Chain A
Amino acid sequence: MKKTIDIMKEKRKVPQGVKDKIKAFNKLKKKILDSLKEGEKTIPEIAKEMDDDIDAITYNLMTLLKYGFLEAGDIDDNDEYYYYRLKNKE
Protein backbone atom coordinates (compact mmCIF):
# COMPACT_ATOMS: atom_id res chain seq x y z
CA MET A 1 0.00 0.00 0.00
CA LYS A 2 1.28 3.46 -0.89
CA LYS A 3 2.12 5.46 2.20
CA THR A 4 0.72 9.01 2.39
CA ILE A 5 4.24 10.37 2.98
CA ASP A 6 4.87 9.77 -0.72
CA ILE A 7 2.09 12.21 -1.57
CA MET A 8 3.80 14.86 0.55
CA LYS A 9 7.20 14.10 -0.96
CA GLU A 10 5.77 14.86 -4.38
CA LYS A 11 4.52 18.22 -3.11
CA ARG A 12 7.47 19.57 -1.13
CA LYS A 13 11.19 19.23 -0.50
CA VAL A 14 12.86 19.20 2.90
CA PRO A 15 14.25 22.68 3.62
CA GLN A 16 18.02 22.90 4.21
CA GLY A 17 17.33 24.48 7.61
CA VAL A 18 15.55 21.31 8.76
CA LYS A 19 18.46 19.14 7.63
CA ASP A 20 20.85 21.43 9.51
CA LYS A 21 18.74 21.23 12.67
CA ILE A 22 18.76 17.43 12.58
CA LYS A 23 22.54 17.36 12.12
CA ALA A 24 23.14 19.90 14.90
CA PHE A 25 20.90 18.05 17.35
CA ASN A 26 22.39 14.64 16.54
CA LYS A 27 25.93 15.98 16.91
CA LEU A 28 25.26 17.46 20.35
CA LYS A 29 23.17 14.48 21.40
CA LYS A 30 26.08 12.15 20.65
CA LYS A 31 28.55 14.38 22.50
CA ILE A 32 26.32 14.66 25.58
CA LEU A 33 25.48 10.96 25.70
CA ASP A 34 29.14 9.99 25.18
CA SER A 35 30.21 12.34 27.94
CA LEU A 36 27.67 10.85 30.35
CA LYS A 37 28.80 7.30 29.58
CA GLU A 38 31.71 8.08 31.93
CA GLY A 39 29.28 8.77 34.77
CA GLU A 40 26.94 11.48 36.01
CA LYS A 41 27.96 15.08 35.43
CA THR A 42 26.68 18.64 35.82
CA ILE A 43 26.12 20.88 32.81
CA PRO A 44 29.29 22.96 33.43
CA GLU A 45 31.29 19.72 33.71
CA ILE A 46 29.94 18.56 30.35
CA ALA A 47 30.54 21.99 28.82
CA LYS A 48 34.20 21.93 29.89
CA GLU A 49 34.77 18.95 27.58
CA MET A 50 33.17 20.59 24.54
CA ASP A 51 33.60 23.63 22.30
CA ASP A 52 29.88 24.27 22.13
CA ASP A 53 28.06 27.13 23.88
CA ILE A 54 26.87 26.17 27.33
CA ASP A 55 23.34 27.42 26.60
CA ALA A 56 23.13 25.09 23.58
CA ILE A 57 24.28 22.21 25.79
CA THR A 58 21.65 23.09 28.40
CA TYR A 59 18.88 23.31 25.79
CA ASN A 60 19.79 20.00 24.15
CA LEU A 61 20.40 18.23 27.45
CA MET A 62 16.98 19.31 28.69
CA THR A 63 15.45 18.04 25.43
CA LEU A 64 17.18 14.67 25.97
CA LEU A 65 15.85 14.69 29.54
CA LYS A 66 12.33 15.38 28.23
CA TYR A 67 12.51 12.51 25.77
CA GLY A 68 13.76 10.04 28.38
CA PHE A 69 17.42 9.62 27.36
CA LEU A 70 18.64 11.05 30.67
CA GLU A 71 17.56 11.46 34.24
CA ALA A 72 18.41 14.04 36.84
CA GLY A 73 20.34 13.02 39.92
CA ASP A 74 21.23 14.91 43.07
CA ILE A 75 22.36 18.50 43.26
CA ASP A 76 26.05 19.28 43.86
CA ASP A 77 27.53 20.21 47.25
CA ASN A 78 27.09 23.93 46.59
CA ASP A 79 23.36 23.49 45.83
CA GLU A 80 23.96 24.95 42.37
CA TYR A 81 24.01 22.32 39.63
CA TYR A 82 22.18 19.04 39.23
CA TYR A 83 23.96 15.91 38.09
CA TYR A 84 22.55 14.20 35.00
CA ARG A 85 23.06 10.58 34.00
CA LEU A 86 22.05 8.19 31.25
CA LYS A 87 18.68 6.62 31.83
CA ASN A 88 18.56 2.87 31.88
CA LYS A 89 15.75 2.26 29.38
CA GLU A 90 15.18 -1.30 30.61
Chain B
Amino acid sequence: MKTPNKSRDLTLTTAAVGLLLVFLWWANGHLDNYKIQVLNLIAINSILALSLNLIYGFTGMFSLGHAGFMAIGAYVSSLLILPPVQKEMIYILQPLIWPFSVLQAPFFIAVLAGGFAAALLGLIIAIPVLRLGGDYLGIATLGFAEIIRVVFTNLTPITNGALGLKGIPNYANIWWNYGWCLLTLFFLIRLINSNFGNVLKAIRDDEVAARAMGINTFKYRVVSFSIGAFFAGIGGALMASLITTIDPKMFSFLLTFNVLMIVVAGGLGSLTGSIIGSAVITVLLEWLRFVENPIDIGSFHLDGIPGMRMVIFSLLLILIILFRREGIMGMREFSWDSLINRFSRGGEAR
Protein backbone atom coordinates (compact mmCIF):
# COMPACT_ATOMS: atom_id res chain seq x y z
CA MET B 1 0.00 0.00 0.00
CA LYS B 2 1.19 3.47 -0.87
CA THR B 3 1.46 5.93 1.95
CA PRO B 4 -1.05 8.70 1.48
CA ASN B 5 0.62 11.69 -0.07
CA LYS B 6 -0.63 14.52 2.09
CA SER B 7 0.84 17.53 0.38
CA ARG B 8 -0.19 16.24 -3.04
CA ASP B 9 -3.76 15.67 -1.82
CA LEU B 10 -3.89 19.12 -0.30
CA THR B 11 -2.77 20.68 -3.59
CA LEU B 12 -5.33 18.68 -5.53
CA THR B 13 -8.12 19.53 -3.10
CA THR B 14 -7.30 23.22 -3.21
CA ALA B 15 -7.24 23.05 -6.99
CA ALA B 16 -10.64 21.29 -7.04
CA VAL B 17 -12.20 23.87 -4.73
CA GLY B 18 -10.71 26.61 -6.89
CA LEU B 19 -12.15 24.98 -9.98
CA LEU B 20 -15.56 24.79 -8.30
CA LEU B 21 -15.40 28.49 -7.43
CA VAL B 22 -14.47 29.38 -11.01
CA PHE B 23 -17.37 27.29 -12.25
CA LEU B 24 -19.78 28.96 -9.83
CA TRP B 25 -18.51 32.40 -10.85
CA TRP B 26 -19.07 31.45 -14.49
CA ALA B 27 -22.50 29.93 -13.73
CA ASN B 28 -23.56 33.01 -11.79
CA GLY B 29 -22.89 35.21 -14.78
CA HIS B 30 -23.97 33.00 -17.66
CA LEU B 31 -26.75 30.64 -16.59
CA ASP B 32 -30.40 31.65 -16.33
CA ASN B 33 -32.12 32.08 -12.97
CA TYR B 34 -33.75 28.67 -13.06
CA LYS B 35 -30.46 26.82 -13.50
CA ILE B 36 -28.85 28.89 -10.75
CA GLN B 37 -31.80 27.99 -8.52
CA VAL B 38 -31.13 24.31 -9.20
CA LEU B 39 -27.44 24.78 -8.38
CA ASN B 40 -28.45 26.44 -5.12
CA LEU B 41 -30.80 23.60 -4.27
CA ILE B 42 -28.00 21.10 -4.86
CA ALA B 43 -25.84 22.89 -2.28
CA ILE B 44 -28.61 23.08 0.32
CA ASN B 45 -29.69 19.49 -0.25
CA SER B 46 -26.06 18.47 0.19
CA ILE B 47 -25.95 20.14 3.59
CA LEU B 48 -29.17 18.39 4.60
CA ALA B 49 -28.07 15.02 3.27
CA LEU B 50 -24.66 15.26 4.93
CA SER B 51 -26.25 16.05 8.27
CA LEU B 52 -28.72 13.17 8.06
CA ASN B 53 -25.91 10.90 6.95
CA LEU B 54 -23.98 11.80 10.09
CA ILE B 55 -26.95 10.82 12.26
CA TYR B 56 -28.09 7.77 10.36
CA GLY B 57 -25.28 6.63 8.08
CA PHE B 58 -22.38 7.11 10.52
CA THR B 59 -23.98 6.73 13.94
CA GLY B 60 -26.77 4.32 13.02
CA MET B 61 -29.58 6.34 14.61
CA PHE B 62 -32.66 6.06 12.43
CA SER B 63 -34.01 9.60 12.64
CA LEU B 64 -37.00 10.90 10.73
CA GLY B 65 -37.02 14.30 12.38
CA HIS B 66 -35.07 16.35 9.87
CA ALA B 67 -38.02 18.46 8.73
CA GLY B 68 -38.51 19.61 12.33
CA PHE B 69 -34.93 20.83 12.69
CA MET B 70 -35.14 22.52 9.31
CA ALA B 71 -38.33 24.28 10.39
CA ILE B 72 -36.61 25.62 13.52
CA GLY B 73 -33.62 26.85 11.54
CA ALA B 74 -35.80 28.38 8.85
CA TYR B 75 -38.08 30.27 11.25
CA VAL B 76 -35.34 31.52 13.59
CA SER B 77 -33.19 32.78 10.77
CA SER B 78 -36.10 34.28 8.81
CA LEU B 79 -37.35 36.17 11.87
CA LEU B 80 -33.88 37.61 12.29
CA ILE B 81 -33.42 38.79 8.70
CA LEU B 82 -36.94 40.06 8.02
CA PRO B 83 -36.99 43.87 8.36
CA PRO B 84 -39.32 45.07 11.15
CA VAL B 85 -41.54 46.94 8.67
CA GLN B 86 -42.07 43.78 6.65
CA LYS B 87 -42.86 41.84 9.83
CA GLU B 88 -45.56 44.32 10.75
CA MET B 89 -47.08 43.85 7.31
CA ILE B 90 -47.25 40.07 7.23
CA TYR B 91 -48.48 39.48 10.79
CA ILE B 92 -52.09 40.30 10.05
CA LEU B 93 -53.80 37.81 12.35
CA GLN B 94 -51.91 38.70 15.51
CA PRO B 95 -48.95 41.05 15.87
CA LEU B 96 -45.54 39.52 16.41
CA ILE B 97 -44.61 39.53 20.10
CA TRP B 98 -41.91 41.72 21.46
CA PRO B 99 -38.35 40.41 21.29
CA PHE B 100 -38.89 38.98 17.82
CA SER B 101 -40.54 42.11 16.45
CA VAL B 102 -37.40 44.23 16.86
CA LEU B 103 -34.56 41.68 16.69
CA GLN B 104 -32.41 41.93 13.60
CA ALA B 105 -29.16 40.28 12.61
CA PRO B 106 -26.91 40.03 9.59
CA PHE B 107 -27.48 36.98 7.39
CA PHE B 108 -24.48 34.99 8.57
CA ILE B 109 -25.40 35.44 12.23
CA ALA B 110 -29.06 34.67 11.50
CA VAL B 111 -28.21 31.39 9.78
CA LEU B 112 -25.84 30.48 12.59
CA ALA B 113 -28.57 31.26 15.13
CA GLY B 114 -30.95 29.01 13.19
CA GLY B 115 -28.39 26.23 13.35
CA PHE B 116 -27.81 26.68 17.08
CA ALA B 117 -31.54 26.79 17.81
CA ALA B 118 -31.97 23.52 15.94
CA ALA B 119 -28.98 22.00 17.75
CA LEU B 120 -30.40 23.06 21.11
CA LEU B 121 -33.73 21.46 20.27
CA GLY B 122 -31.87 18.40 19.02
CA LEU B 123 -30.11 18.19 22.38
CA ILE B 124 -33.36 18.54 24.31
CA ILE B 125 -35.04 15.88 22.17
CA ALA B 126 -32.03 13.58 22.16
CA ILE B 127 -31.74 13.14 25.89
CA PRO B 128 -35.10 11.39 26.33
CA VAL B 129 -35.54 9.90 22.85
CA LEU B 130 -32.12 8.39 22.22
CA ARG B 131 -32.82 5.83 24.90
CA LEU B 132 -34.95 4.21 22.24
CA GLY B 133 -33.44 2.20 19.44
CA GLY B 134 -34.16 1.27 15.86
CA ASP B 135 -37.61 1.87 14.41
CA TYR B 136 -38.97 3.25 17.67
CA LEU B 137 -36.41 6.04 17.46
CA GLY B 138 -37.55 6.74 13.89
CA ILE B 139 -41.19 6.98 14.91
CA ALA B 140 -40.44 9.11 17.97
CA THR B 141 -38.32 11.58 15.97
CA LEU B 142 -41.00 11.67 13.27
CA GLY B 143 -43.43 12.43 16.08
CA PHE B 144 -41.29 15.31 17.32
CA ALA B 145 -41.08 16.79 13.84
CA GLU B 146 -44.87 16.60 13.53
CA ILE B 147 -45.31 18.19 16.95
CA ILE B 148 -43.03 21.06 15.92
CA ARG B 149 -45.11 21.54 12.78
CA VAL B 150 -48.39 21.55 14.69
CA VAL B 151 -47.00 23.94 17.31
CA PHE B 152 -45.75 26.29 14.58
CA THR B 153 -49.18 26.23 12.96
CA ASN B 154 -50.78 27.27 16.23
CA LEU B 155 -48.18 29.63 17.66
CA THR B 156 -49.52 32.56 15.65
CA PRO B 157 -47.92 35.42 17.66
CA ILE B 158 -44.47 34.09 16.80
CA THR B 159 -44.78 32.13 13.58
CA ASN B 160 -47.76 33.82 11.92
CA GLY B 161 -49.55 30.48 12.01
CA ALA B 162 -50.65 28.72 8.85
CA LEU B 163 -50.04 31.87 6.78
CA GLY B 164 -46.30 31.50 7.21
CA LEU B 165 -43.67 34.11 6.46
CA LYS B 166 -43.52 35.91 3.14
CA GLY B 167 -40.98 38.18 1.53
CA ILE B 168 -37.98 36.79 3.38
CA PRO B 169 -34.92 38.65 2.01
CA ASN B 170 -33.24 36.59 -0.66
CA TYR B 171 -29.71 36.70 0.74
CA ALA B 172 -28.92 33.04 0.12
CA ASN B 173 -27.07 33.42 -3.14
CA ILE B 174 -24.79 30.88 -4.72
CA TRP B 175 -21.77 32.02 -2.65
CA TRP B 176 -23.48 31.68 0.72
CA ASN B 177 -24.97 28.33 -0.17
CA TYR B 178 -21.78 26.79 -1.51
CA GLY B 179 -19.77 28.42 1.26
CA TRP B 180 -21.92 26.72 3.90
CA CYS B 181 -21.91 23.50 1.92
CA LEU B 182 -18.10 23.40 1.76
CA LEU B 183 -17.89 24.32 5.43
CA THR B 184 -20.26 21.49 6.34
CA LEU B 185 -18.35 19.04 4.18
CA PHE B 186 -14.98 20.09 5.58
CA PHE B 187 -16.23 19.90 9.17
CA LEU B 188 -17.77 16.47 8.66
CA ILE B 189 -14.69 15.06 6.90
CA ARG B 190 -12.57 16.15 9.86
CA LEU B 191 -15.13 14.80 12.31
CA ILE B 192 -15.58 11.42 10.64
CA ASN B 193 -11.85 10.83 10.31
CA SER B 194 -11.13 11.83 13.89
CA ASN B 195 -11.18 9.55 16.89
CA PHE B 196 -14.68 10.83 17.57
CA GLY B 197 -15.78 9.61 14.14
CA ASN B 198 -14.30 6.18 14.79
CA VAL B 199 -16.34 5.94 17.97
CA LEU B 200 -19.49 6.84 16.05
CA LYS B 201 -18.83 4.13 13.49
CA ALA B 202 -18.16 1.65 16.26
CA ILE B 203 -21.53 2.51 17.80
CA ARG B 204 -23.20 2.08 14.43
CA ASP B 205 -21.64 -1.29 13.81
CA ASP B 206 -22.23 -2.75 17.25
CA GLU B 207 -23.44 -0.60 20.08
CA VAL B 208 -23.23 -3.30 22.72
CA ALA B 209 -19.61 -4.02 21.84
CA ALA B 210 -18.79 -0.33 21.87
CA ARG B 211 -20.30 -0.02 25.34
CA ALA B 212 -18.35 -3.05 26.48
CA MET B 213 -15.17 -1.26 25.38
CA GLY B 214 -15.96 1.39 27.96
CA ILE B 215 -17.38 3.98 25.59
CA ASN B 216 -20.14 6.18 26.93
CA THR B 217 -22.23 5.53 23.82
CA PHE B 218 -25.13 7.66 24.96
CA LYS B 219 -22.96 10.78 25.16
CA TYR B 220 -21.54 10.22 21.69
CA ARG B 221 -24.97 9.59 20.20
CA VAL B 222 -26.36 12.77 21.76
CA VAL B 223 -23.47 14.86 20.42
CA SER B 224 -23.74 13.34 16.95
CA PHE B 225 -27.50 13.89 16.92
CA SER B 226 -27.10 17.54 17.94
CA ILE B 227 -24.43 18.20 15.30
CA GLY B 228 -26.73 16.67 12.70
CA ALA B 229 -29.57 18.86 13.96
CA PHE B 230 -27.29 21.92 13.78
CA PHE B 231 -26.55 21.44 10.08
CA ALA B 232 -30.19 20.59 9.36
CA GLY B 233 -31.06 23.96 10.93
CA ILE B 234 -28.45 25.68 8.74
CA GLY B 235 -29.93 23.98 5.67
CA GLY B 236 -33.44 25.05 6.67
CA ALA B 237 -32.30 28.65 7.21
CA LEU B 238 -30.65 28.81 3.78
CA MET B 239 -33.64 27.14 2.15
CA ALA B 240 -36.00 29.76 3.67
CA SER B 241 -33.91 32.61 2.35
CA LEU B 242 -33.58 30.95 -1.05
CA ILE B 243 -37.29 30.43 -1.67
CA THR B 244 -38.33 33.53 0.38
CA THR B 245 -41.65 32.02 1.55
CA ILE B 246 -42.14 29.47 4.30
CA ASP B 247 -45.14 28.01 6.07
CA PRO B 248 -45.54 25.09 8.48
CA LYS B 249 -47.02 22.82 5.81
CA MET B 250 -43.74 22.89 3.93
CA PHE B 251 -41.97 21.09 6.76
CA SER B 252 -43.97 17.90 6.59
CA PHE B 253 -42.71 14.34 6.49
CA LEU B 254 -42.30 14.72 2.73
CA LEU B 255 -39.30 16.98 3.26
CA THR B 256 -37.58 14.52 5.61
CA PHE B 257 -38.32 11.83 3.11
CA ASN B 258 -36.64 13.74 0.28
CA VAL B 259 -33.49 14.06 2.35
CA LEU B 260 -33.57 10.40 3.36
CA MET B 261 -33.99 9.53 -0.29
CA ILE B 262 -30.86 11.47 -1.22
CA VAL B 263 -28.82 9.84 1.55
CA VAL B 264 -29.92 6.35 0.57
CA ALA B 265 -29.47 6.94 -3.15
CA GLY B 266 -25.99 8.29 -2.54
CA GLY B 267 -25.00 5.57 -0.10
CA LEU B 268 -25.47 5.40 3.66
CA GLY B 269 -22.22 6.15 5.39
CA SER B 270 -20.56 7.90 2.47
CA LEU B 271 -20.09 11.69 2.47
CA THR B 272 -19.16 11.57 -1.21
CA GLY B 273 -22.37 9.66 -1.84
CA SER B 274 -24.45 12.35 -0.14
CA ILE B 275 -22.98 15.05 -2.38
CA ILE B 276 -23.42 12.99 -5.55
CA GLY B 277 -26.90 11.92 -4.41
CA SER B 278 -27.92 15.56 -3.88
CA ALA B 279 -26.80 16.52 -7.35
CA VAL B 280 -28.44 13.52 -9.03
CA ILE B 281 -31.74 13.63 -7.15
CA THR B 282 -32.14 17.41 -7.31
CA VAL B 283 -31.49 17.49 -11.04
CA LEU B 284 -33.70 14.44 -11.59
CA LEU B 285 -36.59 15.98 -9.65
CA GLU B 286 -36.34 19.19 -11.65
CA TRP B 287 -35.90 17.37 -14.94
CA LEU B 288 -38.97 15.23 -14.24
CA ARG B 289 -41.09 18.37 -14.36
CA PHE B 290 -41.32 17.83 -18.10
CA VAL B 291 -43.85 15.03 -17.61
CA GLU B 292 -46.25 17.55 -16.12
CA ASN B 293 -46.03 19.79 -19.18
CA PRO B 294 -47.93 19.08 -22.40
CA ILE B 295 -45.90 16.97 -24.82
CA ASP B 296 -46.22 16.86 -28.60
CA ILE B 297 -44.85 13.81 -30.41
CA GLY B 298 -45.51 14.31 -34.12
CA SER B 299 -49.26 14.76 -34.46
CA PHE B 300 -49.79 13.08 -31.11
CA HIS B 301 -50.62 15.43 -28.27
CA LEU B 302 -50.31 14.48 -24.60
CA ASP B 303 -51.71 16.76 -21.94
CA GLY B 304 -49.46 17.36 -18.97
CA ILE B 305 -50.47 15.23 -16.02
CA PRO B 306 -50.14 16.94 -12.63
CA GLY B 307 -48.70 14.62 -10.01
CA MET B 308 -47.02 12.34 -12.55
CA ARG B 309 -43.59 13.60 -11.51
CA MET B 310 -43.89 12.18 -8.03
CA VAL B 311 -45.31 8.92 -9.40
CA ILE B 312 -42.21 8.40 -11.53
CA PHE B 313 -39.94 9.57 -8.73
CA SER B 314 -41.36 7.13 -6.21
CA LEU B 315 -41.19 4.36 -8.79
CA LEU B 316 -37.49 5.16 -9.35
CA LEU B 317 -36.93 5.05 -5.61
CA ILE B 318 -38.49 1.59 -5.38
CA LEU B 319 -36.34 0.42 -8.30
CA ILE B 320 -33.15 1.79 -6.72
CA ILE B 321 -33.89 0.06 -3.44
CA LEU B 322 -34.84 -3.21 -5.16
CA PHE B 323 -31.91 -3.40 -7.53
CA ARG B 324 -29.09 -1.29 -6.11
CA ARG B 325 -29.79 -0.98 -2.45
CA GLU B 326 -26.32 0.17 -1.39
CA GLY B 327 -26.82 3.37 -3.41
CA ILE B 328 -24.38 5.01 -5.77
CA MET B 329 -21.29 4.92 -3.57
CA GLY B 330 -22.08 2.24 -1.00
CA MET B 331 -19.86 3.09 1.95
CA ARG B 332 -16.89 4.09 -0.20
CA GLU B 333 -15.46 7.58 -0.19
CA PHE B 334 -13.78 9.55 -2.88
CA SER B 335 -10.04 9.86 -2.49
CA TRP B 336 -7.36 11.21 -4.77
CA ASP B 337 -5.47 7.93 -4.50
CA SER B 338 -8.29 5.88 -5.97
CA LEU B 339 -8.83 8.41 -8.74
CA ILE B 340 -5.16 8.45 -9.68
CA ASN B 341 -4.87 4.68 -9.47
CA ARG B 342 -7.78 4.34 -11.83
CA PHE B 343 -6.14 6.50 -14.45
CA SER B 344 -2.51 5.44 -14.15
CA ARG B 345 -2.00 2.18 -16.00
CA GLY B 346 0.96 0.18 -14.83
CA GLY B 347 1.21 2.15 -11.60
CA GLU B 348 1.34 0.16 -8.40
CA ALA B 349 -2.35 -0.55 -8.24
CA ARG B 350 -3.62 -1.34 -4.74
Q: Do A and B bind each other?
A: no
